[in-house]
Structure formats: structure tokens, C-alpha cells
Structure 1
Amino acid sequence: MAIGATIHTFTVQLSDVDRGVYDELAVRVARHPSETAPYMLTRVLAYCLEYEEGIAFSEGVSATDEPAVLVRDLTGSLTAWIEVGAPDAARLHTGSMKAERVAVYTHRDPEKVAAPWAGKRIHRADEVLLHSFDPGFVETMADAIERRNTATLTRTEGRVYLELNGASGESDVHTRTAA
């Protein structure tokens, strides 16, 4: 018998000073058994740091034709394709063809994530943004994840401050293009 996903809930006080977004979010995340805690936390961070009306998680690892996080406008049109982890160039190319904006969030070394993209065809590669965090930040904060989570996430001047279930950490958000 296959093991199903574990549901985690996050109540997040979001203060994104850089974008002028202030909200309390109730986020439900289905964690697949093969998904690591740092990957799941990166999904949550991507969701929060990209938060806008119409944002949603996809079906996760079973959704091969959708990104981890996506944004649709009121008409249902895809406006943002947000990948997590280390997607291949073909996924970024597809996303860039389907959505106005493409972003990648990773808890891995961004140079190693971007290296396989070199020389590959990615539509509007100079507009695809790769966001990463300081080494060890996501892994350390992922240790604090429980089934029910309370978090405060603040971004100001390109730096994030995260308090998760009493544990605190901070990191720069490093951004580069896929080109």
C-alpha cells in the first residue's frame, strides 16, 4: 500500500516591505513522502514571497505539466510560473512560453542549479529569475517544521527574516537570471 501525502498547515504573518504586501496567510501544503523538508519549506517561501491574488500550489510531484506554484488571473489565464528546486531548461522554456513571468526558488547552490541551463533553449531566459538563499538557511529552518506551523516572514531590502515555531533565521535573497 502506498503512503499518502502529509498535510502541513502554516499560519504566516507576511510583511513583504519590498513589494508592499502585508497579509496573514493560511497555507496548506501536501508533502509527498519523497519530498524533503527543505524542498517543502522552499515551496512555502516561494508561495509567500510571490504572494498575490490568484496564487496556488499545483498538484505537486504528480503535476508534471505545471510548476510547483502558479498564479492565474481572474479569467483563469496563467500569469506566473514558479518552479522550486532545480528544474531543467525544458520546463523553464515551457513555463516562459505559457506565462508572463517565470521564477525559480531553490535551496541548493544556484550556480549548480543554473549550470545545466547553459546553452539550452529557454524562451526569454533573460527574464527568468533564479532566487536562492544563503547556504544552510533553508535546511536549518526546515528542522523547525511541524504539522501545524506558525510563522512570521518579513522581507526588506532583499533580506528575509523568518520565525518558524520559535526558531529564527535570516538570509539574503540572491537573484540572477537564467541567461
Structure 2
Amino acid sequence: MATGATIHTFTVNLADVDRGVYEELDLRVAQHPSETGAFMLTRVLAYCLEYAEGIAFTDGVSATDLPAVLVRDLTGRILAWVEVGAPDAERLHLGSKQSERTVVYTHRDPAKVAALWNGKRIHRADELVLHSFDPGFIDAAVDVLERRNAMTLTVTERRLFLELNGTTLESDLHEFPRD
């Protein structure tokens, strides 16, 4: 955990109808001093949307050679390399070589994020998945963040229904450039 980090707790009721995942999660998330609320919340959503046995947060922005979230099998093999924000092509190349699947969740403009990778070498670039949310969704959720958070996340037909600390928000889960 980073020195000077702010700890946020999330009690999450997850109902991902699209994947058949129904879980209650208790998450402790360290927000590094240089990490924005939008980045931290996107990490939490990425964790929930990728939830599977073997999932774990890494050291976040402090982890220079690891993504925000990893999914490993029981042997330690990396199944999913989950980046957040606008990772550079070199990180994605590394992640694609080490994992079965590489995915990015961004709170930024996905066209601008994808443009950063144009002409760069990324292993299995055609398999890379970039997800984003409706404009304003993450910012509205950040506005109601607290140190202790009660969250219900329902996903159905790629539509997110988020209740965070009594505020209800909705967003499509976009996949760039396919949407």
C-alpha cells in the first residue's frame, strides 16, 4: 500500500447478468495521492466487471510493471491483464505477451486513448478490448464517493445500473471501436 494513500472501502452487491456473476464483495482500495477519484473508481468498476476467481488489485499507479487488476489461475498464470485509464502501448504489449486476455477500462475519451496506440507495436493488438462509459458517468459517481461506500452494480445487456451511496446512475458499457 502506498504511503499517504487514502483507503476507501466498498461493500459491493454485484449482479452481472450478462456473465452470470452474482457476488457480494468487500473491497479495500488504496487511492495513491497522485491518483484521481475517476481513475480509482474506474479501477473498482473494472474489478467488478472482470470479477472472477483469482482476481486481485495490484499496487495501482505505484506498480510500474503490473496493470491495475490481474486475474490469475491457481498455478499463477495470468488469465487477464486489466489496465485502467490511458496505458501506453509498451504496457499493453507486455500485458498481451504475459496473459491470455488484455483489456482496458477508461474514464477518458476512448478515441483519444486508442489514438495513442496507433502505429505502435502491441502483441495481439487485434484482441485488445477497450471499454468506456457514457460521458459524465464516472464524474457523477466520483461526486458521491465517500471513504466508506455502499455500491450495487447490475449489468444487463451491456448496460450498467450503479447505485452508489444512495445515488443511482446508468451507463452503457462501450467497446471501442465496435460500438
**Does the aligned pair in 1 maintain the 2:5–2:30 contact within 8 Å?**
yes
**Does the aligned pair in 2 maintain the 1:149–1:164 contact within 8 Å?**
yes
Q: Which residue of 1 aligns with 2:23?
A: 23
Aligned length: 177
Q: Which residue of 1 aligns with 2:70?
A: 70
Distance in 1, matches of 2:146 and 2:56, equals 21
With the length of structure 2 as denominator, give the TM-score of the two structures.
0.96
With the length of structure 1 as denominator, give the TM-score of the two structures.
0.96
Cα deviation digits, residues 53-108 of structure 1 (max 9, x gap): 00000011211000000011001111110000000111110000000000000010
What stretches of structure 2 of length at least 5 have no aligned partner?
Answer: none
**Does the aligned pair in 2 maintain the 1:127–1:177 contact within 8 Å?**
no
Q: CA RMSD in A?
A: 1.4
Distance in 2, matches of 1:13 and 1:77, equals 28
**Does the aligned pair in 1 maintain the 2:104–2:130 contact within 8 Å?**
yes
Runs of 4+ in structure 1 over 2 Å off: none
**Does the aligned pair in 2 maintain the 1:8–1:29 contact within 8 Å?**
yes
**Does the aligned pair in 2 maintain the 1:81–1:96 contact within 8 Å?**
yes
Q: Which amino acid aligns with 2:169?
A: G
How far off its partner does 1:158 sit?
Answer: 0.6
Q: Which amino acid aligns with 1:142?
A: V
Q: Which residue of 2 aligns with 1:93?
A: 93
Q: Which amino acid aligns with 1:38?
A: A
Q: Which residue of 2 aligns with 1:119?
A: 119
Distance in 2, matches of 1:85 and 1:128, equals 14
Distance in 1, matches of 2:117 and 2:56, equals 26
Mapping of residues 5-44 of structure 1, within 5 Å: 5-44=5-44
**Does the aligned pair in 2 maintain the 1:126–1:177 contact within 8 Å?**
no
